[in-house]
Amino acid sequence: MKRLHIHVVIAVVLGIAVHALTVWALPRLIMDRIITLGGGDAQAQSGSRASSGVYLPPPTDHTQRRIVMPSPDLLYATCAFDLREGPLRIRMASGYPRYWSIALYASSTDNFFVVNDRKTAGQDIDLTLVGPRQADTASPGEVISPTERGFLLLRLLVNDDPEVRAAAEATRRTLRCDRGRA
Amino acid sequence: MRRPRLIVASLYIASIFLGVASAWLWLTRVGIAGVDAGAWRVNLLAGSQNADAYTRARVALGAVLALDRSETLYYTTQHDDRGKALRAECRYKIEGSPPTARWWSITAYGADNFLFPNAERRYSVGTESAQLDATGRFSLMIGPLPASEVGNRTWIPTAGTGGMRLTLRLYNPAPAVQQAPGSLAAPSITLAGECP
């Protein structure tokens, strides 16, 4: 009987631990799937693979059922990154005359960096992203990711005007994610 | 000898099951914390590095890849101004003043957090498409699209039956709203006509 009490206590502790582990792991599992699909499984998607590890999803509509709550007002481009093999150089021309932003996400889902058209004041994007293990040797101005793996999401505000969509398309095609430093 | 072992094994299996199930129920059934503005609620930690584990998990389930509040505020709701759950088969009128932000939009999602299929391919109304009246206010409709409204750019069509979620996005909100998101004069949501 006394032994059973011990097992009950262990079972309660186990249940609490499993609860906490589930809450902790869920966002990381979801993000891991996004990073994997966003970076290395273009065959399963209807968008197109651009150069330098960039994926160009089709314009957002109801057939997009990969990432929850997509915004129909935005045209996206994505780039999954893994910094274990070294820094990542992110480049993009910034001539698009409407709202755009580049956001970086850690594998925990945290949005640790964002830059938009107004912050760059018309300058082209040329960023270096380094992993947490290279944080000590990072140069000033380089962005430090809290996790080795992560995800880049480019957003461009569009509307129904074909000229606007063409300009957004041209801009997202200039996005590059290459190994190396700026 | 065998029976006590079976009881202990069942105990541990049950504890693992309850651990997972309680986490899932807590994340999916308990509303996300945040600040209210009218019928809408904004979570100030969505996308933030300061988010707690529960917020991070809820955001991952319902709004993964959200931007930090410094860039965007996401107001969401699953009920109207009277507190009644939004239904895809019902019609709602949304009215208000354009939020003070660089750009804003209201989007309708099904209970699965994806866009409603519709032949019009219209899913949101906002800065780009809202029509303002003489007093500078906008109004739009959300619900099953009647034939008489085909082509109406301020009607967001829904499809099917079941729950619905609305999201009001404020990109680069005005400093006053960013500092006090609850102070937003949020658009009203009222049921239009009878709900089948």
pLDDT for position A48: 65
User: How much is the average pLDDT of A156-170?
Assistant: 94
Residue B179 corresponds to which tokens in the numbers above? 């500092």
Is residue B4 located within the same domain as residue B54? no
Q: A1 pLDDT band (50/70/90 cuts)?
A: low
The pLDDT of A80-107, averaged and rounded, is: 93
- B169 inside domain: yes
Q: Which residue of B19, B48, B53 is in closest CB contact with A18?
A: B19
The partner residues of A141 in beta bridges, in order of sequence, read none
DSSP B3-61: HHHHHHHHHHHHHHHHHHHHHHHHHHHSPPP-EEETTEEE-TTTT-TT--HHHHHHHHH
Cα radius of gyration rounded to whole Å, chain B: 20
Return the residue of A nearest to B59 by Cα: A27
B121, part of any domain: yes
**B42 lies in some domain:** yes
Show residues of chain A in contact with B22, CB under 8 Å.
15, 19
Q: What is the pLDDT of residue A161?
A: 92
Q: Is residue A24 part of a domain?
A: no
pLDDT band at A80 (very low <50, low <70, confident <90, very high): very high
Both tokens of B16, joined, read 């693992």
Tell me if B130 is assigned to some domain: yes
User: Which CATH number goes with the domain that contains B133?
Assistant: 2.60.120.600
Lowest model confidence (mean pLDDT) among A40-49, A120-129, B150-159, B183-192:
A40-49
The percentage of residues in chain A with a pLDDT greater than 90, rounded to a whole number, is 56
Question: Residue A67: which of B4, B65, B68 has the nearest Cβ?
Answer: B65
Say if A19 falls within a structural domain.
no
> Residue B40 has what pLDDT?
96
Nearest residue to B189 (alpha-carbon basis) of B120, B117, B86, B102? B86
Burial class (CB in 10 A: 0-12, 13-18, 19+), B103: middle
Instruction: Tell me whether residue A20 is in a domain.
Output: no
Residue B156 has pLDDT above 90, yes or no: yes
Residue A46 pLDDT: 56
Does pLDDT of A34 surpass 80? Answer: yes
Q: What is the dihedral of CA A70, A73, A79, A83, to 10 degrees?
A: -80
Q: What share of chain B is helix, strand, coil (3-state, %, to 5)?
A: 25, 30, 45
In total, how many domains does chain A have? 1
Q: What integer is the mean pLDDT of A79-101? A: 93
Cβ-defined contact of A27 to B57 (cutoff 8 Å): yes
Residues found in chain B:
196
Closest of B65, B66, B84 to residue B75, by C-alpha:
B66
A76: nearest CA partner in chain B: B65
> Of A62, A76, A113, which to mutate for an interface test with B (greatest number of B Cβ within 10 Å)?
A62
Regarding whether B39 and B11 lie in a shared domain, the answer is no
pLDDT digit string (tens) for B131-155?
999 999 999 999 998 888 888 889 9
Instruction: Look up the domain containing B9 and give its range.
Output: 1-30
A129: pLDDT strictly greater than 80? yes
3-state secondary structure B147-187: HHHCCCCCEEECCCCCEEEEEEEEEEECHHHHHCHHHCCCC
Query: Cα angle at A118 between A115 and A120, to 5 degrees?
Result: 60
pLDDT at residue number A90: 95
Average pLDDT estimate for B176-182: 92
Structurally, chain B folds into a number of domains equal to: 2
Q: Both B111 and B54 in a single domain? A: yes
For strand A143-144 and strand A100-106, is the pairing parallel, antiparallel, or unpaired?
unpaired
Asked whether residue B33 carries a pLDDT value surpassing 80, the answer given is no
Kindly report the nearest CA distance between residue B27 and chain A, in angstroms.
Answer: 8
Q: Regarding beta strands B155-157 and B138-143, do their DSSP bridges make them parallel or antiparallel, or are they unpaired? A: parallel
Q: Which of A20, A54, A25, A15 is nearest to A152 (CA)?
A: A54
List the CATH number of the domain containing A120. Answer: 2.60.40
Averaged over A98-119, what is the pLDDT?
Answer: 94
Among the partner residues B16, B103, B115, nearest to A14 by beta-carbon distance: B16
Q: Which of B11, B65, B124 sits opposite A7 (nearest CB)?
A: B11
3-class SS at B108? strand
Sign of CA dihedral B103, A160, B94, B118: negative
> Which pLDDT does position A42 carry in this prediction?
44
The whole-number pLDDT of residue A122 equals 81
C-alpha distances in angstroms, A57 versus A77, A97, A172? 6, 21, 10
Residue B59 placed within a domain: yes
What is chain A's mean pLDDT, rounded? 88
ipTM at complex level: 0.85
Domain of A93 in residue numbering reads as 39-179
Q: Is residue A89 part of a domain?
A: yes
Per-residue model confidence (pLDDT) at position A47: 61
Q: Are residues B124 and B63 in the same domain?
A: yes
Q: State whether residue A49 sits within 8 Å of chain B by CB.
A: no
Q: Quick check: A40 pLDDT over 50?
A: no
**Is A29 within the bounds of a domain?**
no
Residue-wise DSSP of A70-124: --TTEEEEEEEEEGGG--EEEEE----SS-EEEEEEETTS-EEEEEEHHHHTTPP
User: Which of B1, B8, B15 to probe by mutation at the A interface, max A CB count within 10 Å?
Assistant: B15
**Main-chain phi, psi angles of A86, to 5 degrees:** 130, 175
SS3 content of chain A, % helix, strand, coil (to 5): 35, 30, 35
Residues B83 and B128 both lie in one domain: yes
Res. A108: pLDDT tops 50: yes
- Which residues 106-125 of chain A have a CB within 8 Å of chain B? 106, 108-112, 114, 116, 118
pLDDT at B55 over 90: no
List the 60-99 stretch of A: residues with Cβ below 8 A of B: 60-65, 67-73, 99
The band of A43, judged by pLDDT with boundaries at 50, 70 and 90, is: very low
Which pLDDT score is estimated for B47? 75
Identify the helix (H) or strand (E) that includes residue B75: strand B72-77
A101 or B56, greater pLDDT: A101
Which pLDDT value is given to residue A88? 95
Percent of residues, chain A, with pLDDT higher than 70: 91
Closest CB to A68 among B63, B68, B121 = B63
Q: Does residue B69 share a domain with residue B164? A: yes
Is residue B110 within a helix (H) or strand (E), and if so which, with residue range? strand B101-110
- Is residue B91 in some structural domain? yes
CA-CA distance, B167 to B108, in Å (whole number)?
7
pLDDT at B54 over 50: yes
pLDDT at residue A44 in the model: 45
